[in-house]
Amino acid sequence: MRFKGHALAGALALTVFGALPALAVTDVKIWHMEQPPHRVQRVQELIDAFNAANPDIKVSQEPQSWGEVYAKVPAAMAAGNAPDILFAIPDFTTVIRKAGQLDSVADFVKELDAQHHFIPATVEPYSYDGGVWAVPLYNMSLNFWYHKKMFADAGIAVPTTWSEWKAAAEKLSKDGVVGVGLPANKQLYTDQTTYAVMVNNGASELFNADGTLRFDNPKTVESYAFYKDLYKFSSPDAANWTWGEAEACFASETCASILQFSVISTYDQQGGGDAADLGVAAVPHADGEKNSSTIAYSNAAIILAKDAAKRDAAKKFIAFLLEPENYGKFLNMEPGLFLPVTTDGAKSETFWSDPLVVKYKPQVEQMIANSHAGMLFGFTGGHVFPAIGPISAQNILAETLQKVVISGEDPAAAVKAGQAQMIEATK
């Protein structure tokens, strides 16, 4: 009799709960290009925390490669299979905007700014044509990394000018060590190192104020000629390098110095991890210039979703990431590489308390200082030139460099051809 009663109660409960409508779950798919497993893991931890706190939303990530994403996103958009949130950089955003109808996130950015206070320079590259097209998430800047002991043993001071840089690279290149690891691949990394050399010779502007190209000028030619001189002291396989190969070269002490955003993680895991021996400085400038500059830019999140529920869910997740408590963890998916774009994020306890950030605090502070003098091709002088999208997608800066350092073309001729190629690309 008692059993019968329990069975009846169970059946009743099943009937009641079974009759309740299932909780509608909004799926949000993210594509980002932070492929190293530890970064994917950190992003997943944040996603798990968000999903647990928001049972009506299910966020998932699909890491992509920078090498393929320029091709993959327009194809996915055409096939109706695009992600809801796409991580991007400024020039890539112009490509995506051209490929599909993006909705401005100006109001959302304003709302976030009121809470977290964006560093204005991180929002500017995404603000044009009357809208804001992405939400800044993290900043990056290219730095000059070096092994302090190698430099000290060779009696070399950290170079600040090009002549010092070349002399140092030459002196350090012996016994299987290359003085400076510089890439010459037709890829984004080489675009970045090339531009970092250009900005240190007053050749930061690719466009005139009216939007016409001014890549072909004596300062650019000098920059390419200098890169060629320096490339003689790079690794024999640098024509194939992306960021990972450069970091591996530095961590294995085959490279005495490299240009890289950050090496902290690989250096700590594979390079011995002696914080006192890891040097970071500004990229050296041309002898005629007074100050160093570098390439720096913010990465951002584009909301591609069209569906209102998905857009709201995507905004909720982005807002979650920018909460200082989560933001420090997010930035430290690669400690030292990703720098804050918000004022409260820069003070985030979770950012500064990460063991690697604590260990390499002087280096991280130097990186932040270097980033203040950062620029990005196509986004200089207070202008935004959306024509930079196809130029960047085709890696024309890097392709021009290959002509100079690999095919041995005259820098002036290569730069002239590069400008012609840029004009063709932007037609």
Partner 1 sequence: MASKPISSGRGGDGRIAFLLLVVPLGLLAATLIVPMVSAITISLRDIRVIGSDGPFAGLDNYARVLGDGTFWHALGISVVWVVGNAVVQTILALTAALVLNEKFPGVRVARVWIILTWIIPTVVVVIIWRWLLSPSGGMVNPLLIQLGIIDRPMGFFASGPAAMTSLILINSWRWFPFVAIMLLAGLQRIPNDIYEAAAVDGAGAIARFRAITWPLLQPTLLVLTVMGTLLSFNVFDIIWLLTAGGPAGGTETLPVLIYETAFKAYRMGDAAAMSVVASVLMIGLALVLLDRLAPKETAR
Q: Which residues bind partner 1 (CB under 8 A)?
A: 67, 70-72, 74-75, 77-79, 95, 98-99, 176, 184-187, 235-240, 245, 248-249, 252, 254-255, 390, 393-395, 399, 402-403, 406-407, 425
Report, in Å, the least distance between residue 35 CB and partner 1.
14
| CA 8 to the chain's CA centroid | 61
Query: How far apart are the C-alpha atoms of 293 and 301, rounded to whole Å?
Result: 26
Q: How far is the CB of 235 from partner 1 (least distance, A)?
A: 6
Asked if 124 and 379 touch (Cβ cutoff 8 Å), the reply is yes
Least Å distance, CB 67 to partner 1, is 7
Min separation Cβ 70 and partner 1, Å:
6
The H or E element that residue 143 is part of is strand 143-147
Q: Exposed (0-12), middle (13-18) or buried (19+): which is 316, by Cβ within 10 Å?
A: middle
Phi, psi (degrees; rounded to nearest 5) at 259: -100, 120
The minimum distance between CB 176 and partner 1, in angstroms, equals: 7
Our CB check for partner 1 shows the closer of 335 and 411 to be: 411
Residue closer to partner 1 by CB (options 86, 123) is 86
Angstrom distances, CA of residue 30 to CA of 24, 160, 319: 19, 41, 14
User: Tokens representing 128?
Assistant: 């044009």
Closest distance to partner 1 from the beta carbon of 254 (Å): 4
CB 214 within 8 Å of CB 206: yes
Smallest distance from partner 1 to CB 137, Å? 25
Q: Which residues pair with 177 in a beta bridge?
A: none
Q: How many Å apart are CA 132 and CA 427, to the nearest integer?
A: 24
Both tokens of 324, joined, read: 């200082």
Toward partner 1, which CB reaches closer, 76 or 135?
76
Based on the number of CB atoms within 10 Å of its own CB, is 393 exposed (0-12), middle (13-18) or buried (19 or more)?
A: middle
**What sign does the dihedral 344-361-90-300 (CA atoms) show?**
negative
**CB of 171 or CB of 316, closer to partner 1:** 171
**Distances 245 to 183, 368, 407 between C-alpha atoms, Å:** 9, 24, 22
Residues 369, 63, 48, 138: what is their CA dihedral angle, to the nearest 10 degrees?
20
CB of 249 to partner 1, least distance (A): 5
Task: Compute the least distance from the CB of residue 228 to partner 1, in Å.
Answer: 13
As measured in angstroms, the least distance from the Cβ of 256 to partner 1 is 12
Residue type, 336: G
**Judged by CB, which is closer to partner 1: 60, or 240?**
240
Nearer to partner 1, 61 or 234 (CB): 234
Q: At its nearest, how many Å lie between partner 1 and the CB of residue 104? A: 21
C-beta closer to partner 1: residue 155 or 236: 236
For partner 1, give the closer residue by CB, 395 or 419.
395
> What's the rounded Cα separation, in Å, for the pair 242 and 78?
29
Closest among 251, 230, 229 to 182, alpha carbons compared:
230
Indicate the residue type of 176.
Answer: G
Minimum CB distance to partner 1 smaller for 72 or for 383: 72
Q: Nearer Cβ to partner 1, position 76 or 282?
A: 76
Q: What's the CA gap between 229 and 249, in Å, rounded?
A: 20
Q: Which residue's CB is nearer to partner 1, number 244 or number 362?
A: 244
DSSP result, 291-353: S--EEEEEEEEEE---SHHHHHHHHHHHHHHHSHHHHHHHHTTSTTTSB-SBHHHHT-HHHHT
